[in-house]
Amino acid sequence: MSDSDNVKSAIDAVTGLVKEVPVYQDLLQPSIREIGKGLHTLTKAVSIALSPVSILVWGYEEISNFVTTKVAEKLKHTPIENIIPPRPNIGGPALEALRYIGHEVVLTDLYANLLATAMDKTTARNSHPSFVELIRQMTADEAKIMKLFLNRNAYPVVSVRAEIKGSSVGYDHTILINDLGDDANCELPDMSPYYLDNLRRLGLLDILAVYGLHDEIEYSKLEESEETKKTISDMSLNTEFEPRIIRGGVKISPLGSLFLEACVKLKV
């Protein structure tokens, strides 16, 4: 088989999967208004509210264009002889997921990297099928935070522990005071504690309540932050407790490292 035939075979395999992705043409069609005249006003309001969603849902043309442009761009430095069709349990679900997150550029980039990884026979082993669902359960901000771990495998976080005075017994009043949301230029940086918790739930990050990194400057910055000061102030209102700052960390997990290789790191 020639090089051109090899590339054509791979592209045809992916576009074939695109054709198999169901595109629901009847979304918000007039049939929904046939529920009854009494529900006409409500139905109209629902249709108006959902109409922006129908515009964002990708169809065959958008997904096909994604494959032939963005994915192809990721593979431009891959030797022609190394390009192979992706496994169906990766290609099919990935293209289906694109229907609903196509407007999120950061997330589509992860899918493009994943498909490119799966279509290169030298990296295909890194393209785990679970990564399709992991991306589906991530926000664009969380994807941005994951990119930070390309530069280092762990970052400092601090928690404030409310301890009974004269005792080490207590509980964490708040956890994961961190700067990752700002460092990653998240749209909602204040949500970073919840983002980190979700990435931990997905198995991509490990959160260690007690974990000392050699990063005195960053720890001091977190300990002196307004969020930490407010937490300590609020905790001090209860005379039964006294606050104690604990240095911890958030680090990439083994699964997270593989995810970075397959979905985040740019192919060169």
What whole-number distance in Å separates Cα of residue 174 and Cα of residue 164? 16
Burial of 68 (0-12, 13-18, 19+ CB in 10 A): middle
Cβ atoms of 191 and 171 closer than 8 Å: no
Digitized pLDDT (tens) for each residue of the chain, 268 residues in all: 555 555 556 656 666 666 665 554 444 445 544 544 444 555 445 544 444 544 556 777 888 888 888 888 888 888 889 898 899 999 889 988 888 888 889 999 999 999 999 999 999 999 999 999 999 999 999 999 999 999 999 999 998 888 887 776 666 666 678 999 999 999 999 999 999 999 999 999 999 888 878 889 999 999 999 989 988 888 888 777 888 888 999 999 999 999 999 999 986 6
Query: What is the CATH code for 147-258?
Result: 3.30.110.190
What whole-number distance in Å separates Cα of residue 182 and Cα of residue 159? 18
CA neighbours within 13 Å on the CB side: how many for 266? 6
Domain ranges of the chain: 3-23+59-136, 147-258
Coil, helix or strand for 241? strand
Question: In terms of Cα–Cα distance, which of 113, 101, 46, 43 is closest to 74?
Answer: 113
